[in-house]
Structure 1
């Protein structure tokens, strides 16, 4: 294991809407590029061309997966044991045997400091997706805190805005769902102050037909051909000419832009082919697993091959696990934590994530693809959650004081563990880093060191302040 005992890097940069637009059946797209400037931080040896973000919705238990504490008392460590991996000294949970074989590709970051004691999903999403600490509105509003138009932007939209426009696909794509169900749409996953034109394209997957991965948003209805759609668009443009007086309103201009991009996407063959996982062999699909999450990771690999800059996979919760785990069916294991992890969540994650890493490596894509696995929070080290009857419910409560992230590819040196938590896994104890540092490291790996943007009044501002690249990961 490559362990880091030196001081944290201090290469800090100076610190200085939500509008869901549905056009032709799907949400706003990410296309535009933003201004560039010179950065004082040297680029990494390998510049990643794509990032895949796997977000474990609900708050994955770090202490039962990546940062195990076998010497802690039983009421903290639980029944799981660590196992050796393909990287000497790096251990993972015994229920992640396939991923353990890929540990030589992994950097395990165990010392991420959540910084704020909100213990709230909305705040955790926002912090880990944007790199910005949640403001007071998250404390006062809790899960009623909806996305705001002036929120700091999702890291994927920053990457998308800084890259040249893809010829036929959006620069940022999210699948297989938009977390979470209305009215609890999670803040932090949108472009915010960068503008709705930079929002990701949302692609909906299905639990019932995961292998087919049908994309209604990219399918023309009935007898509508691409030519006929283009004709309809021409007619609409003609009618719009009679409404020129409305163009002075920004919302109308945005709608027009989104409609034009929607038509372009719907009539572009590469868009359909990139999402069509049925083109993969049964052997490849089985390798990832016949689930919507496994198939989404396979689709992410195909989008890397299509040179999409940023792909997000939000873990799709299962309604079948809702009652079993006292959760929304994902990683929010308030009750029955160990059975839910052992029997359901960990096997599915193990298969899909290990397959993705191995597949990227075998195809020669891992060096050019940065992989980040994160969540909105960790879980409380002491077993027992009041929502499931205390210790007898065998659950773990929310814990925003620390969590673990995984990174691989994109110039990251595999087979290493960075930082450490205390003996119970409650707080960072060595080399603490923040979600801002992780976000800044993603930008650095992607060759994006100019983080300036311009607001609607022409004023330049910094997209991420006081964040350090975790340089020893490279």
Structure 2
């Protein structure tokens, strides 16, 4: 899948760097090649952008994974966390405030200074303001699909949706090209996957884990054994199934889907019988103070789980909470809803960045945070903002991304 064949999410044709941003400094690597139509005609390193941005920007992910595999011996990127904010958060009320705009545009929130002079974000994200040196803001990301269904498919696969071909989501591509150890899932989706493996086949599906709840035991369907079922008993059951499969194999005319399910079942057995995998999902092993740092809410605990999975060796984790629990689709009461949504987002994401850095994993883990689109500049009659695909904000961290920087404008 080459550069010319891939259709990725654009950022202000495609990204319009702010006037005072040095793009070369943002991706500080030599050896550049033009891959986007920047309005300033700037060029950035193809290798750098693939490694730190391809997982989110929808660029040539397959090429990026090949580069990551080649760099593994040199300690390059080994994992990724994709945090998807369902519904499309309002960019001008979070990371791209317009305090000088008229009242019907600027909204109710005031900007606060970050740790970098001249960069401000929303007052309801004080932790992320303090920690701005750990991540970068991409403003003015744009596409033209202002519908939740097709917009999400575009952002989650990097390809324009088509009824002819079902494209795989990023984690499924990682599962195919860069598998984890046999006893670990390569790709985990919390709380649910949206697109699936597409044309790659069922064996590259995510292991879907329910969101954790603070203070409650955590069980994962397919990893946590049913009550009374030991690993030894489960192994005997699997051996019986294998014997039956062998006995009837000669009478079957298996299609690709059945073979795919067989491979998926074998992988599932390796995972369910793995102490390492069960330990990775066991949040009770965390200190109370560490759990509290992420917040006693579903978003924070989900990010803590994502951290544990990456530390165990899982290569790709998607965090996508269901709209009923964490919905940024604020057609009405935008500001009151954001006053509820932003504090757990701020606390959880800040804790995630701190933990990755404290444990020496920020350089080897790519973090991408985005929704499917932004919200309208004008506040509507119900105090909300509607769909607006012409501008949105995304966050990048890890790998070669230089924290404390801003690219693009809206």
Per the normalisation by structure 1, the TM-score is 0.70
Q: CA deviation at 1:359?
A: 1.3
Q: Does 1:300 align with 2:297?
A: no
Alpha-carbon distance between aligned partners in 2 of 1:37 and 1:167, rounded to the nearest angstrom: 19
Q: Does 1:226 align with 2:226?
A: no
Alpha-carbon distance between aligned partners in 1 of 2:408 and 2:100, rounded to the nearest angstrom: 18
Structure 2 counterpart SS, 1:218: coil
The C-alpha deviation readout for 1:122-149, integer Å capped at 9, x for no partner, is 11111111111234x5xxxxxxxxxx8x
Alpha-carbon distance between aligned partners in 2 of 1:378 and 1:365, rounded to the nearest angstrom: 30
Q: CA deviation at 1:406?
A: 0.3
Partner of 2:390: 401
Alpha-carbon distance between aligned partners in 2 of 1:334 and 1:213, rounded to the nearest angstrom: 34
The C-alpha deviation readout for 1:79-104, integer Å capped at 9, x for no partner, is 11111111222211011001111101
Alpha-carbon distance between aligned partners in 2 of 1:314 and 1:100, rounded to the nearest angstrom: 23
Alpha-carbon distance between aligned partners in 2 of 1:37 and 1:89, rounded to the nearest angstrom: 35
Partner of 1:177: 192
Partner of 1:161: 176
Partner of 1:29: none
Alpha-carbon distance between aligned partners in 1 of 2:321 and 2:314, rounded to the nearest angstrom: 20
Gaps of 5+ in 2: 1-17, 24-39, 48-61
Q: Does 1:3 align with 2:3?
A: no
CA RMSD of aligned residues (A): 2.6
Structure 2 counterpart SS, 1:312: strand
Alpha-carbon distance between aligned partners in 2 of 1:126 and 1:380, rounded to the nearest angstrom: 21
Q: CA deviation at 1:210?
A: 6.0
Q: Does 1:381 align with 2:370?
A: no
Alpha-carbon distance between aligned partners in 2 of 1:316 and 1:38, rounded to the nearest angstrom: 32
Q: Quick one: which of 359, 363, 371 aligns to 2:367?
A: 371
Q: 1:129 to 1:123 in 2, by over 3 A?
A: same
Partner of 2:240: 235
The C-alpha deviation readout for 1:19-56, integer Å capped at 9, x for no partner, is xxxxxxxxxxxxxxx999987xx979972111111110
Q: Are 2:212 and 2:302, in contact at CA under 8 Å, matched by a contact in 1? A: no
Alpha-carbon distance between aligned partners in 2 of 1:152 and 1:38, rounded to the nearest angstrom: 19
Partner of 1:419: 408
Q: CA deviation at 1:176?
A: 2.4
How do 1:316-335 and structure 2 match up within 5 A? 316-318=322-324, 330-335=327-332
Q: CA deviation at 1:217?
A: 3.0
Q: Are 2:223 and 2:272, in contact at CA under 8 Å, matched by a contact in 1? A: yes
Gaps of 5+ in 1: 14-33, 138-147, 179-185, 320-328, 385-390, 422-474
Structure 1 counterpart SS, 2:244: helix
Structure 2 counterpart SS, 1:365: coil
Partner of 1:276: 282
Partner of 1:102: 131
Alpha-carbon distance between aligned partners in 1 of 2:260 and 2:301, rounded to the nearest angstrom: 33
Alpha-carbon distance between aligned partners in 1 of 2:169 and 2:179, rounded to the nearest angstrom: 18
Partner of 1:123: 150
Q: 1:93 to 1:176 in 2, by over 3 A?
A: same
